[in-house]
Structure 1
Amino acid sequence: MTLRLAFMGTPDFAAASLVEIAAAGHEIVRVYTQPPRRKGRGKSEQKTPVHALAETLGLDVHTPDSFRDPAVLADFASLDLDLAAVVAYGQILPQAALDAPRLGCLNLHASLLPRWRGAAPIQRAIMAGDELTGVQIMQMEAGLDTGPILLSETVRIFPHDTAGSLHDRLMGAGAQMWPRALAALERGSLEAVPQSGEGATYAKKITNDEARIDWSQPAMVVAHQIRGLSPFPGAWFELPTARGPVRVKVHFARAGDGAGAPGTVLDEALLIACGSGAVRLTRLQREGKAAMDADDFLRGNTLAAGTVLD
């Protein structure tokens, strides 16, 4: 037996799930994704990764501006779906949409709920110094990531992980959960476990202000911030130059020993003093340049001991 479903998703993280669901042989009646946006230097209109993939798979794609539009809701209800599979779609579905499929809507979320409900669970987990995270498929309800858990996979956060590397591991683990979840749903053996109300945290969207490195924080906090914001949007500081300050993103750093006024360069190999301890910057990207390892960065950028970074 195959399920008749719609898929809703937008970025690469979602595209991986669409591949696995399609490979499992389910009937994907329609794909919903965000409308094309103008990006890049030429401001050309670009389709989302899910949109591009769905077209290669020969699937019907819709890009409504809002799922609260009565016409969009009526059309969705007319599809006579068993369920909708949702992964990083980028729109909050109203109750009418959640109720339309026979089995409701299922969502893949990149954390161990109720920890890190919301928009940026991968970044927030690293920034908080968590050692474990995961991916979960839940039954969607009106609250923000509050629905009961149907399937869960725990993933370790390693000291070398960045948001980018953790994203890719969670993406793969989450995509592989869909065939198992849908098969169990067909058998009627998928148990819904309500979330605990205790320990809930919210992974709010990353703001520009948060990306600037605050050297007055403890070294471990700074290192977590850098790893959690790498590669995007990138934690940054201003490098003093003869022509004025230049923004530099830091893509990786390790906490270490050292002491000095916060932001002070302590040696010739990018050890920077923090509020307590120090961080060793190992991969950087000057504005307008490609990311590079610290040795290569220092060949073209002088950062003498005693320099104070802003």
Structure 2
Amino acid sequence: MRIIFMGTPEFAVPTLNALVQAGHDVVAAYSQPPRPGGRRGKALTPSPVHARAEELGIEVRTPLSFRKDPEAVAAFTALNADVAVVAAYGLILPVSVLEAPRLGCLNVHASLLPRWRGAAPIQRAILAGDAETGVGIMQMEAGLDTGPVRLEGRTPIDGKTAGELTAELADMGARLMVQVLCDFDAHPQVVQPEEGVTYAAKIDKAESRLNFDQPAEAVERQIRAFNPPGAWFEHDGERVRVLTGDLFPGEGRGPAVTGPILDPGLRRGTVLDDMLTIACATGAVRPTLVQRAGRGVVTTRELLNGFPIPPGTQL
């Protein structure tokens, strides 16, 4: 097929690779414009899709908008594509774009629709404690992730981090997309049910601060949902990212705790022992892999050797 590819982050790269490997003619790749990098020079850095498309010799286009740029819509339409394949592109596509390719636009969406329509389905599924998630190949329409689904894959969440799920679903979505493109008729559109609709709102940076007023199970899900880059707490004016952690049952009092720490006003967010076990609303969590700002990932024991956080500390 003659395909336009539209994607931006690393999640989209496996689908682009799969389309090329399957022998399709990817006539152009659309991606968000290069952004300033994290280094001091702030040089503009192309997105992962942009960089990979250039390696593959595919023309890359980076319009700021389609809604406000009729010329961008006209250039898109002029490609005369059979289909556009979209994976975490990040720009809203107007109807004029959705209807330009002969077979419309297909989206790789990382949830079991209609659950978790929107921007952050993987993180929201983990935070909510969902038992499973998946990826759907959706025929795009004007509504937010409301289109019919042609093919779906599922996987248990089972303690996975957002990073692990993202990689798994990216590969799954790539396989399913190639399968659908191989035979459209064998994968008819299935309208999403009206029941069970939820929305995966964009992640706010403040949400990655660990909230010990929750049960320990919810705190542990928060750790997994924000890895990468890592949920965090603050101590002595410094943020410490928590990448993995273990759960402890009970009321958050920890082993061999005596004295004022048992005061209900101090208990939540209190460090309970010399292994950085932290009291929550119920139960406790113990970080196992952590990272200080500007430093590498270390075990909790390694952190405490050079950055003491003694029992009784309130985080």
Q: What aligned pairs does 1:268-287 form with structure 2 within 5 A after superposition?
A: 268-287=274-293
Deviation at 1:255, TM superposition (A): 2.0
1:129 Cα deviation after fit: 1.0
Instruction: Indicate the residue corresponding to 1:251 in structure 2.
Output: 243
Cα distance in 2 for residues equivalent to 1:56 and 1:104: 27
Match of 2:107 in 1: 107
| Count of aligned residue pairs for this structure pair | 299
- SS class of match (1:79): coil
Name the residue aligned to 1:10. Answer: 8
Measured in 1, the distance between the counterparts of 2:28 and 2:238 equals: 47
1:236 to 195, 215, 232: 232
Which secondary structure state, in structure 2, belongs to the residue aligned with residue 279 of structure 1?
A: strand
Q: How does 1:56-135 map to 2 (within 5 A)?
A: 56-68=55-67, 69-135=69-135
1:199 aligned to 2:205? no
In the aligned structure 2, how far is the partner of 1:40 from the partner of 1:303?
30
Determine helix, strand or coil for the equivalent of 2:233: strand
Question: Partner residue of 2:259?
Answer: none
Question: 1: CA distance between counterparts of 2:206 and 2:26?
Answer: 41
What amino acid does structure 2 have at the position aligned with 1:252?
T
Shift of 1:294: 1.2
Which amino acid letter does the alignment assign opposite residue 86 of structure 2?
A: V
Do residues 170 (structure 1) and 169 (structure 2) align? yes
Alignment of 1:123-162 (within 5 A): 123-159=123-159, 161-162=160-161
Q: Distance in 2 between matches of 1:238 and 1:48?
A: 31
Provide the C-alpha distance between the structure 1 equivalents of 2:205 and 2:221, rounded to a whole number of angstroms. 17
1:22 alignment partner in structure 2:
20
Tell me how far apart the structure 2 counterparts of residues 54 and 288 of structure 1 sit (CA, whole Å): 31
User: What's the counterpart of residue 53 of structure 2?
Assistant: 54
- Measure, in 2, the Cα distance between the counterparts of 1:56 and 1:246: 40
The structural deviation recorded for 1:17 is 0.4
Task: Tell me the equivalent position of 1:221.
Answer: 218
Deviation at 1:196, TM superposition (A): 0.8
The percent identity for this pair of structures is 52
Deviation at 1:263, TM superposition (A): 0.7
The 1-side partners of 2:174 and 2:65 are apart by 26
5+ residue gaps, structure 1, are none
TM-score scaled to structure 2, two decimals? 0.92
Match of 1:294 among 300, 303, 307: 300
In the TM superposition, what whole-angstrom CA distance separates every residue of 1:209-231 from its partner, at most 9, and x where no partner exists? 21111111111111111110111
State how far apart, in whole Å, the 1-side matches of 2:313 and 2:54 are: 53
Provide the C-alpha distance between the structure 2 equivalents of 1:214 and 1:271, rounded to a whole number of angstroms. Answer: 14
The separation in 2 between residues aligned to 1:134 and 1:26, in whole angstroms, is 25
CA distance in 2, matches of 1:105, 1:34: 18
Deviates more, 1:257-266 or 1:28-37: 257-266
The one-letter amino acid paired with 1:262 is R
CA displacement 1:227-253 (0-9 Å, x = unmatched): 101112x2111113xxxx211111111
Cα offset for 1:288? Answer: 2.1
Q: Could you give the per-residue CA deviations for residues 114-170 of structure 1, whole angstroms, max 9, x where no partner exists? A: 1111111111111111110001100000011110000100011122x1111111111
